[in-house]
Amino acid sequence: MSDSHWWRGAVIYQIYPRSFLDTDGDGVGDLPGIVERLDYVASLGVDAIWIAPFFKSPMADFGYDIADYRDVDPLFGTLQDFDHLLAKAHGLGLKVMIDQVLSHTSMEHAWFQESRQSRDNPRADWYVWADARPDGTPPNNWLSLFGGCAWQWEPRRGQYYLHNFLTSQPDLNFHHPEVRLAALDNIRFWLDKGVDGVRLDAINFCFHDRQLRDNPAKPREMRVGRGFSPDNPYAFQYHHYNNTQPENLAFLGELRALMDRYPDIAALGEISSEDSLATMAEYTRDGRLHMGYSFELLTDEFSVEHIRGTVTRLESQMTEGWPCWAISNHDVERVLTRWGNGDASAQRANLLTAMVCSLRGSVCVYQGEELGLTEADVPYESLRDPYGIAFWPQFKGRDGCRTPMPWSDQDAQAGFSDGMPWLPVPEEHRVRAVKQQELDPQSVLNGFRTFMHWRKSQSALRWGDVEFLDTAEPVLAFTRRLGDEALLVVFNLAAADIDIVLPQALGTATAVEGHGLPQARLLEGRLQLPGYGVWFARLG
């Protein structure tokens, strides 16, 4: 593998615009705020930015309910602001990816407003409509991920419409050829503007089972899933029919054909299915998506066995595609809380970043990860996420990872806004503000920068094959090989020091410096790993 495509081995920095930087004092971040902080982002050593939705929307799901795919919501700015953002990012050497939410729209979208009026208008079949059962109940047992029935009655048509997410997010009918063409045309609009890629939200939800068959029940012991409340009924089913349908494969081919008309564009699919790793492999082969990522490393499970097993299973299936990994994003508890086991130290934060950025594939890092931010405890009265409000108190939703970026420990609202932020700024985040960490050579921020810039010089780490060593907890070890270059990578995932014996078959190993993490020592065949220590070594 080589660096012939920018996205292979890239580190993609996710920006959640509502919470990045507010420049107009309304308490919500905006596109000019992103522009103002692009120099900071470029200084991190990342390759690209992915911007969460900034399109016109009623904001029921904070931008993932789109009312106009081709316009910027006034909350975030204007199309001219986006053009300015794109130009500045490219001037700094940063690629720009944007979210595209294809499977559903807002109920305020003009398409749905027309579709809901009657059964015979020009867009009558653009959404998933179905008649009630003879007793008036919904057409099948499908459930919404946000809780409860996935069908909502529409009196204008005397039918139900499907919503896999919020009631206000009706699902488009991708079996209709005009819907597919319209979705592709919306993506073409942004490609013509010059974006470098798209992150495809819930891409396996585009198609539904035409026969509307019931999903089978799932045994109690199998009711697990990423981000689910313990009592979310969504986990009670195998979701065989409301998503991940075979027809989606042909559509992905159509999407790829469009993207191949533009130079070096990347399509990254978010995938959450009954077997997400298998779906990732399927969606990235035979000329479909460039990359896929799932939630396997976004769960609560943190162990050598889980990380090694997840990557190994994907590697055994993904023969053509390119993986993308993430350990934090805007939908899950922040990694330093989820995987920290009470330890939010700089050493642990930097170890987790180095670990995920050493796996084969590209990486998405979430804003604030470079600061070692922990999950915020947002009180019920301040919650904004409808998911958290619905499932309180067992599940507090996604607000805790979406609180504003702390830029200054001294300024009001930590330098995020001159107004009242849409979510409160946690006091514990002030001490991790950018301005304060800039001054500390041992900070998470400076450790993040050191590692990212060093990683750019390690071709085997960015593009090489991966093979795991059979090591016991808490040591994760693997090799990365590219041509004649071979790199041994060893991580101590625990705080206590540990010694291990390296397999003699590896041959000679010479330590590689410059990554900025606590370095192990090799003495008489034994590798002495400090707590949260690493060893990068050239094999010869």
Q: Hey, which residues are catalytic here?
A: 201, 270
Residue 71 structure tokens: 């316009």
Q: Is the CB of residue 468 less than 8 Å from the CB of residue 477?
A: yes
Residue 103 structure tokens: 């499977």
Could you give the C-alpha distances from 5 to 47, 65, 458, in angstroms and in order?
Answer: 12, 32, 16
Q: How far is 372 from 336, CA to CA, in rounded Å?
A: 7
Could you give the C-alpha distances from 70 to 79, 100, 121, in angstroms and in order?
Answer: 9, 11, 23
Question: Which amino acid would we find at residue 65?
Answer: D
Q: Which residues contact 473 (CB under 8 A, 6 or more apart)?
A: 303, 304, 305, 493, 494
Strands 526-529 and 498-501, sheet pairing? antiparallel
Q: How far is 503 from 524, CA to CA, in rounded Å?
A: 13
Instruction: Show contacts of 79-86: CB within 8 Å, 24+ apart.
Output: 81/30, 81/31, 81/32, 81/35, 82/31, 82/54, 82/193, 83/193, 84/31, 84/32, 84/35, 85/31, 85/34, 85/35, 85/38, 86/193, 86/194, 86/195
Strand partners, 293: 270
Q: How far is 334 from 9, CA to CA, in rounded Å?
A: 23
- 48-72 burial, b at 16+ Cβ within 10 Å, e below that, comes to bbbbbbbbbbebbbbbbbbbbbebb
Question: Which amino acid would we find at residue 343?
Answer: D
Conformation bin of residue 133: beta by default, left when phi > 0, alpha when psi is -120 to 50: beta
Q: Is the CB of residue 34 less than 8 Å from the CB of residue 42?
A: no
Strands 11-15 and 362-366, sheet pairing? parallel
